[in-house]
Structure 1
Amino acid sequence: MAKPVRSLPGLSWGAEGTREVSRALPEEWPVALVYDGSTQAVMMASPQDLADFALGFSLSEGIIGKPSDIKSLEVVEHGEGTECRMWLAEDRGEALTARRRAMMGPVGCGLCGIDSLAEAARSVPQVGPGPRFTSAEVASAAELLRDRQPLHDRTRAVHAAGFLRPGEGLLAAREDVGRHNALDKLIGALAGQGIDPGAGAFVMTSRLSVELVQKAAQVGCTALIAVSAPTAHAVRLAEGAGLTLAAFARAGGFDIYAHAERIGEGETHVA
């Protein structure tokens, strides 16, 4: 099996000259998402938690509506990459076939198999009322996630996504070289455990970009918290979807850019 970290030699330059070093570096590994025998997307990802990745990608991209829409899932490694082979329920397979007919060609990374401008700017579902969080929970969310990043501890070069439930702390976390991959892995992990994303918030180590808002809203999560900034488009999208957006969550503080009503000073309220 491919390893998520490799130790490689390098030459370090500094004020005192050069020295040979060996660094733990994160692997970027081709992962193909294959449905009913046809490849939908090929992503560069960390080669771990790939069953979670396949399930989460399928949910966050609207390919399936629930885990049982995947009739079987097999992770198969080849010499140059890994295939996540899925067979869909008949109605979902037919819907994906129709979606493929509307596509002109593949693309990589953030918008995952979508190549028309209309699809890239697609509207997202309205999220439900969701739970409330205390300001202290939001301010400490990134610190809690920091304690759940073993791959980052070794490499200092990967992203993480965590799930925060009010009054309970961080319930799950996943890591990947790609921020959207980390979120998909988390979504898949939650689905596998029967945890409703609408009962908490996603916590990210990255900036908040459009695809993260799209993925969160698609699976019904009502809040996104991140250590970095949101993009302007992400704020507009979150505002329209009813999703709370908290950014710069570090050093005991944060900014709120959309739907601040879910964050207050009082007790948490679970939806």
Structure 2
Amino acid sequence: MSSSEGKVYGKREVTKYADGEQKTFSDTVAVEVPITIKVNGEEFVTVVCSPAYIEDMVVGYLASEGVIDSFRMVQSIRYDQTNGYVHVSLSRELSQLHQLLQGKRYITSCCGMSRQGFIFASDSKTTKTMKSRNVHLTDQECFKLMNELQSEAHVFKQTGGVHNAALATKDGIVLMRMDIGRHNALDKLYGYCLRNGISLTDKVMLFSGRLSSEILLKVAKIGCEIVLSKSAPTDRALMIAEELEITAVGFIRAQSMNVYTCSERIYQKS
């Protein structure tokens, strides 16, 4: 299957052992590729990701890391799919990026190492405290949104190897992306919105995976008041959610869910 620029899953012959029997069949697996971002001609970071919506991901990543303040700073962006490079030209002088470029690092899709562990300065610069209470959801709207996310997770159903994230209003999903890297899926949403001038002030973040600290930080950088997940949160994620006044909801399954922080944004439908 292809999505935007590249093939996001393919076929692989496998041998399966189950119930005392052996059989060979063609299985569907998620595709991952390394993408190196070059900023003003210099290598900045290599990201391992699903090969779809690459330019959106790069814009979202640069914004969340504090490299750009808005999409207006991007003079040009070009994805060289053959060689795995994204060339970004910014209006900032290279000298202004020196410290960031010196911190060049390699990021994998692995869930065991949070990106927060690599850099903290940009987190404090780019996270937003959600003082407003513009978004409210009923319990039934939360269940409906999570069901919609899962029903639209077509690549996950094929491979079982990707994360899904979506921006939604109480009426339904507005934009959805997937990636082998959970942080990449959120960057693809963020980058698309920045490139297309889509407001994030009234949006809810839906997420298929665990609510870790890196995910809460990413949600705070994007600027969503509420994040909904079908999985569990970590204690550090909830500490961040409390500090930044984000409503974190986890374990949304069937007609059950846990509201962990800022519960005033969620209410029960009478």
The TM-score bracket by the shorter chain reads 0.7 to 0.9
Letter in 1 for 2:169: R
Letter in 1 for 2:91: A
The 8 Å contact of residues 107 and 113 in structure 1, kept in 2 or not, is answered as: no
CA distance in structure 1 between the aligned counterparts of 2:66 and 2:128, rounded to whole angstroms: 11
Q: Which residue of 1 aligns with 2:91?
A: 89
Secondary structure (helix, strand or coil) at the match of 1:24 reads strand
CA distance in structure 2 between the aligned counterparts of 1:115 and 1:217, rounded to whole angstroms: 18
CA distance in structure 2 between the aligned counterparts of 1:13 and 1:87, rounded to whole angstroms: 51
CA distance in structure 1 between the aligned counterparts of 2:114 and 2:212, rounded to whole angstroms: 11
- Equivalent residue for 2:18, pick from 5, 9, 14: 14
Question: Residues 196-207 of structure 1 correspond to what in structure 2 (within 5 A)?
Answer: 196-207=199-210
User: Could you list the runs of 5+ residues in structure 2 that have no partner in the other structure?
Assistant: none
Could you give the per-residue CA deviations for residues 51-95 of structure 1, whole angstroms, max 9, x where no partner exists?
A: 11111112222221222221111111235xx2121111226x554
Secondary structure (helix, strand or coil) at the match of 1:172 reads strand
CA RMSD of aligned residues (A): 2.3
Q: What is the Cα deviation at residue 146 of structure 1?
A: 1.4
User: Could you list the runs of 5+ residues in structure 1 that have no partner in the other structure?
Assistant: none
Matched, 1:254 2:257: yes
Secondary structure (helix, strand or coil) at the match of 1:157 reads coil
- Equivalent residue for 1:219, pick from 217, 222, 229: 222
Q: Which residue of 1 aligns with 2:150?
A: 146
- Equivalent residue for 1:230, pick from 230, 233, 242: 233
Is 122-131 or 208-217 further displaced after alignment?
Answer: 122-131
Secondary structure (helix, strand or coil) at the match of 1:192 reads helix
CA distance in structure 2 between the aligned counterparts of 1:58 and 1:121, rounded to whole angstroms: 12
Overall identity of the aligned pairs, in %: 23
- Equivalent residue for 1:70, pick from 74, 79, 87: 74
Secondary structure (helix, strand or coil) at the match of 1:258 reads coil
Give me the TM-score of the superposition, normalised by structure 1.
0.87
Q: Which residue of 2 aligns with 1:60?
A: 64
Secondary structure (helix, strand or coil) at the match of 1:208 reads coil
The 8 Å contact of residues 47 and 106 in structure 2, kept in 1 or not, is answered as: no
CA distance in structure 1 between the aligned counterparts of 2:34 and 2:240, rounded to whole angstroms: 30
Q: 1:180 to 1:31 in 2, by over 3 A?
A: same
Q: Which residue of 1 aligns with 2:212?
A: 209
Q: 1:250 to 1:192 in 2, by over 3 A?
A: farther
